[in-house]
Structure 1
Amino acid sequence: MTVHEHQHWKSLTIRRPDDVPVATPLAWQIDKHTEHNDRLMNIALPADFKYEVERGDAGDALAVIALRESMRRDIEAGRGVRVREAIGLGATWNEVAAALDVSPDAARTLLREWADGQHNLYLRDVEHGQNRPLGLNPDQHAAMLALTELGDDEAARQ
């Protein structure tokens, strides 16, 4: 991301999760969230507080809600990628499941659903004539699904 993009981001008013541009780094979202949240926290300070502080308003509260939802969505969308990376780097399904605080079968389901979504993205791009389709081609999709067949304590061969 460029300095110009960051300056543009800083100037945006956020009131809905969709006000956050696609691919906005989480760190930028957290920074903006912190600014709004700090102003909201200042509301609790006494009126005669020793220092001059900026107090929050409804816009700050809405921005915090919208930014939290945007970040939640971004984090949720990244779960499948991170599971794929962990398994591909030698983690076992038991280890991934522990990291997610779910059962190994639930972790496998997460990867399977992510892989299916990525494969559907690829198929849509191909159908629309994209030269460089995004997502997983049939061979990559099959390789992802094969990972879900590993035993709970079996690591992928690297």
Structure 2
Amino acid sequence: MSAPCIVGPRDIPPTMSVSGMFERYTELGMRGYVARTEDSVPLTVAEHLELLTLGESIARIVRHPVDVHHALQAGATWPQVAHALEINEQDARSAYRRWADGQRALHEHCGIGLDAAEHAEAIARAEQTGEA
């Protein structure tokens, strides 16, 4: 049985774990590197697309916005969050507000996410000033 053709995020089998994705990503990355530096078979277009897809999917999974929420709840400042994300503070705050609004909508729709009080706290946190 051949491996599935993964050329977009929806092509990743739901049973494939993040570690499985990373293993395949590493395998393709090494094969691509070797092919560029030695006389060996290069990756196919489909394999390059799979590499891109897996890399982006892994990033989306491990770069979850709730991590910003948890860091702020633990006492991180906006300058620290922005530095960790390598973005400016305003963009970090805006992304956090969008996440909080999405979590509020999720709660209204199906009962998970941020309730009204938690959403209000998150929005207030996004607007905090005077941090060191």
Query: Taking structure 1 as the reference length, what is the TM-score of the superposition?
Result: 0.67
**Distance (whole Å) between structure 1 residues aligned to residue 80 and residue 33 of structure 2:** 38
Unaligned regions of 5+ residues in structure 1, if any? Answer: 1-10, 48-53, 126-132
* Corresponding letter in the other structure for 1:153: E
| Shift in Å, 1:17 | 1.4
1:43 matched to 2:35: yes
Q: Secondary structure at the match of 1:148?
A: helix
Report the CA distance shift for 1:25/1:90 in structure 2 as closer, same or farther (over 3 A): farther
Matching residue within 62, 67, 71 for 1:86: 71
Name the structure where helix makes up a greater proportion of residues: 2
> Residues 102 and 36 of structure 1: is their aligned pair in 2 closer, same or farther, counting only changes over 3 Å?
closer
Unaligned runs of 5+ in 2: none
Matched with 1:59 is 46
**Which residue pairs with 1:98 in the alignment?**
83
Flag the 1:24–1:119 CA change in 2: closer, same or farther, 3 A.
farther
What is residue 153 of structure 1 aligned with on the other side? 131
d(CA) in 1 for partners of 2:6 and 2:49? 8
Q: Could you say which structure has the larger radius of gyration? A: 1
Query: Could you tell me how far apart the structure 1 residues matched to 2:58 and 2:112 are?
Result: 23
Please, which moves more after superposition, 34-43 or 135-144? 34-43
Aligned residues: 129
**Aligned residues: percent identity?**
29
